[in-house]
Structure 1
Amino acid sequence: MRAEIEQAATEIRSSLALLRRHLDWDNALRRLDELNALAEDPALWDKAEKAQKIMRERTHLADAIGAFRAMERELDDALTLAELGEAEGDSASVDEAQRNLAVLKEHAAKRELESLLSGEADMNDCYLEVHAGAGGTEAQDWAQMLLRMYVRWAEQHGYKVEWLEESAGEEAGLKSATIEIKGPNAYGWLKSESGIHRLVRISPFDSNARRHTSFSSVWVYPVIDDDINIEVLDKDLKVDTFRASGAGGQHINKTDSAIRITHIPTGIVVSCQADRSQHRNRAMAMDMLKARMYEAELRKREEASAAIEAQKTDIGWGHQLRSYVLQPYQMVKDLRTEVETSDTQGVLDGDIDRFLSASLAAKIQGGPGAAEKA
């Protein structure tokens, strides 16, 4: 058998062995049986929140076990095809087996990384905010491009996107926007995206076609479960109502029901204008506020390298996470992991898995903050 096929098979088996160990295979099978039994109990839904939590765990575990078994079958099928092809002198079958193994190798490596998403909130949905830095229209256009990148990434992975807040720029782009991304491990995958993103390009808004540098900040925090108790006192809150304005804002309503809540002790500000009901917008904004406070506590526990508010200040040269250069050459480079690509259009269309995977792998290999130090 070709050396390339044997090498790929060896690497896939290694990933599967690690996956099996991380799953704690025997206990995972036993737990799935328990969850299946609970799911068949009609009394389970007497407590809806508990039932939903059990069903989420069951779905997550069943998917993980099913994916592992499917990859084992795909490995066996590819190796069988390669053996038959070589025995019969059918080079086309051998080539097909080699291609199948290459795809499986990449898939197994990604599942191996996903299995390590074991943080307290990694399985949760997440909120993602984008804020334009200084620079007016140029920076606001970059903020919109950046948000589009994340929306495309979410859609490509089968996640649902809900628009919660959108403040349009004066001429183009966005001053800020907040979306909720719903899907398994959404927070685990995107949590390392918080930081400053830098764009270098020939500005379409500059009549002299000069090169401009723009900055936008991204902020990711988890949607928290109802059973996580975050205490928020009314006396610590400033609540404002406002109306969406500007040329954009096509994803949100234009009534006076939009809500902005400021948590005075921490300075955290959240806004929601997703619904025509002021009551529902306030409820969603409170959920976002509690999620931000919970994420702050998570970062403290994980001994993150920078304080939360320090990451939100100075949207400029000091706190860069990734650099996107469109002119005079094409390059996107992560400044923590050194991962880079010349496929700038692919990245801006949502192809950011290479950066997410590298950041996760760096943190796992080096502990909290390792990705930032890489």
Structure 2
Amino acid sequence: MKRIADLRSDIDAVDAVRATLDDAAEIIAVLGDEEGAEAEADAMIARATRALDDLEMAANFDRPYDSHGAIVTIRAGAGGTDAADWTQMLGRMYLRWAEGHKFETHVVEEAPGDEAGLRSITFIVRGKNAYGMLESERGVHRLVRISPFDNQGRRQTSFAEVDVVPEMEEGDAGDLEIKPDDLKVETFKASGAGGQYVNKTESAIRIYHLPTGITVASQQERSQMQNRDVAMNILRAKLIQRAREEQEQKLAEIRGERMANEWGSQIRNYVLHPYQMVKDVRTNVETGSAQAVLEGDIDGFIWPYLQNRNKFAPAGGGDAA
């Protein structure tokens, strides 16, 4: 039913563009040289052009999980307290971006920093093609600014890693089996909002998958059972994504392709001092509106990445390196 609804939405969007262009043609044919007719037709054509651009971009979301929700995890890297603060800033940026797209968001887990910010944050973004868009954000993000935590006002460079995996839906797991013996489960007291029992009972769950070293946690639900279900769903998604990446890496080795190391590390620089600039090192797209980007205006980086991803995809399909 979800697939049917998505296809119907696509068809309705195409029909709307066609109707707009038909109306513009009718205005020109009927009203001719009357005052305002040409301007009205031009406005309709411009509106149809913007809609066609959106449809062209939506056509990029043709991979198996592009239409799914996205599970986003951000972890502080090098930079101490500044990195923890940077992690919190990135989390806010993506949540604001999701809000602007009218996507549903759900914060799963937050680990506070020692002095400020967050050591890590995990949240889910649900909406059409949420994973297809946010997949572009996977990698290391670098911030350069005057540190608010440095008494001498020195410039500080800090890093945070963004990991994005698709939220799995019923039937997506296939033959994936998670053995109970492979799991180490810990309970702890939640540290954030979560109702009257937060910090009183050990309702939060942390799960270690011993064979892979993957760790997931959930602390925002009210009960331990609910947190366990959320954590297991995230673990399942990460294991499926890991299996896909391993398969793609093997295919790349067979084809003799080489992965570009910088794509798996630093993907974007955010400079707030001595000037303001945000630059994506993969596409070379840059902007001086750093504050707007930090408020969630990141579509200008997502779209070029998607266009390059399809342009440089290996022959025979699959993801770009």
Shorter-chain TM range is: 0.7 to 0.9
- The equivalent residue for 1:223 is 167
| In 2: Cα distance, 1:336 partner to 1:317 partner | 7
CA contact (8 A) 2:193 2:220 kept: no
- The equivalent residue for 1:214 is 158
Structure 2 stretches lacking a partner, 5+ long: 254-261
2:294 to 337, 348, 358: 348
SS of alignment partner, residue 298 of structure 1:
helix
2:9 to 45, 59, 63: 63
Letter in 2 for 1:296: R
Matches within 5 A, 1:99-114: 99-114=43-58
TM-score (norm 2): 0.87
Give yes or no for the alignment of 1:287 onto 2:245. no
Q: 1:87 to 1:177 in 2, by over 3 A?
A: same
| In 2: Cα distance, 1:119 partner to 1:343 partner | 32
Pairs aligned (count):
305
CA contact (8 A) 2:269 2:279 kept: yes
CA contact (8 A) 1:141 1:172 kept: yes
Question: How far 1:344 sits from its partner (Å)?
Answer: 1.2
| In 1: Cα distance, 2:193 partner to 2:143 partner | 25
Percent identity reads: 44
Give yes or no for the alignment of 1:238 onto 2:151. no
- The equivalent residue for 1:310 is none
Letter in 1 for 2:157: T
Question: How far 1:279 sits from its partner (Å)?
Answer: 1.2
The structure carrying a bigger helix percent of its residues is 1
Q: 1:317 to 1:354 in 2, by over 3 A?
A: closer
| In 2: Cα distance, 1:266 partner to 1:120 partner | 24
Letter in 1 for 2:278: V
- The equivalent residue for 1:164 is 108
Aligned CA RMSD, in angstroms, stands at: 2.6
1:21-63 deviation digits (Å, cap 9, x = unpaired):
xxxxxxxxxxxxxxxxxxxxxxxxxxxxxxxxxx101110110
| In 2: Cα distance, 1:101 partner to 1:347 partner | 29
- The equivalent residue for 1:328 is 274
Question: How far 1:239 sits from its partner (Å)?
Answer: 0.8
| In 2: Cα distance, 1:153 partner to 1:290 partner | 26
CA contact (8 A) 1:337 1:371 kept: no
Q: 1:234 to 1:327 in 2, by over 3 A?
A: same
Q: 1:127 to 1:318 in 2, by over 3 A?
A: closer
- The equivalent residue for 1:33 is none
Q: 1:65 to 1:243 in 2, by over 3 A?
A: same
- The equivalent residue for 2:131 is 187
Letter in 1 for 2:164: V
1:210-259 deviation digits (Å, cap 9, x = unpaired):
211111010000111221232111111111111234xxx34784341111
| In 1: Cα distance, 2:146 partner to 2:44 partner | 41
